A and B are shown apart, each in its own frame.
Chain A
Amino acid sequence: MIGEKTIANIGGGAVSIAQHVGGIVVLTGQVLRALIPPRIDGRELVKNLHKMGNRSVPIVALTALFAGGLMMLQSGPFVKKLGATGLAGWAAGYAVLREIGPILIALMFSGRVGANNTAELSTMTVTEQLDGLRALAIDPVKFLVVPRVIAMMVMLVALTVIGDLVALVGATVVGSALLEIDASTMYHSFADNLKPYDFLHGISKSVAFGAAIAMSSCYFGVTVRGGAVGVGRAVNAAVVAAAVSIMLLDFFITYLAG
């Protein structure tokens, strides 16, 4: 009896995952289709760019500062034990530019912007504003979803560029304040060991993360059902889906790009 219930649960879970993935793919198709004659509502786009990008700078900068400091805290003692302080920037910088920077910034972005966007879109959906748009012959995907997707992709890349820089500053600050590795050593260590490709590797990840966050947050926003409880559940589902897809994409991009 227990076996039957477990199998039913697993099957139900698989079906609902397949349903959501399919829904996200269909929405992506609709977004791409809406881009074919590229006519985007400029005012909505600028509004979203400002709301999603400029207003996330403080939280992203703080996260990046701590992330850079953390990498330095973890790698610093080891590097010092080996007596190779010149390599301090290599270990921290490499980890920050390729992995920790893009992932942590994307996770914070998904919490700040993706969840917010789901909350906003799902509130519009449950208060039937989307149906109102449809009644006025305005395609909600074209008017609401497309500008948001573009804004999130552009702004996550821009924020990752800022965040990478701030994280390297954080690593330098921690190195000189807690580990007695002076700033000039750190600077030369960064400059000698980090290649432009490391930076581009991280940026290419954040393009994909931005698309994943945007699509999952818009999908759960427009398909929500049932009042305030539904909105909470949609936001929860959107951040979980974004986190899973960030990890999966990270893995595949790392393998493909090397």
Chain B
Amino acid sequence: MDKRCGITQKDLMDIFYQEKQLNNEIKTHIKTCKGCSEYFESLHSIKKEMSILEFDQENNSLEIINKAFVIAELQEKRKKEKIEFSLFVLVALIIISIVISSAISGYGNVVFLLQVASLSLSPIIVPLMFIKKLRKESD
């Protein structure tokens, strides 16, 4: 097979798959070239033989799609939880480092007082937040 036949065969493939129009040059070539005319015929025979593999499929699309939605939701939830956990770790690390550096720089007493204040405020704030959430939900 020479270079010309290689090019023509690719053109024949394009024509067979309707990507190109058959022109006179190619027509003349396949009339005179046995290899290329055989190639063109083989495209038709491949199509005929391969048509057996046009499967009829069992249709359980709904089941698989619904399962996919469930899996996708789970994946999203896990992803969200991972992000939230990472954020929590980051914020915690920032607070701890601020507290430690403040204590080292001589603000130990202030840090201690702030911690006591925040601990004594939480029994008041947490129930208030809970009530607010309940009101929001009932609205």
A-B interaction:
no
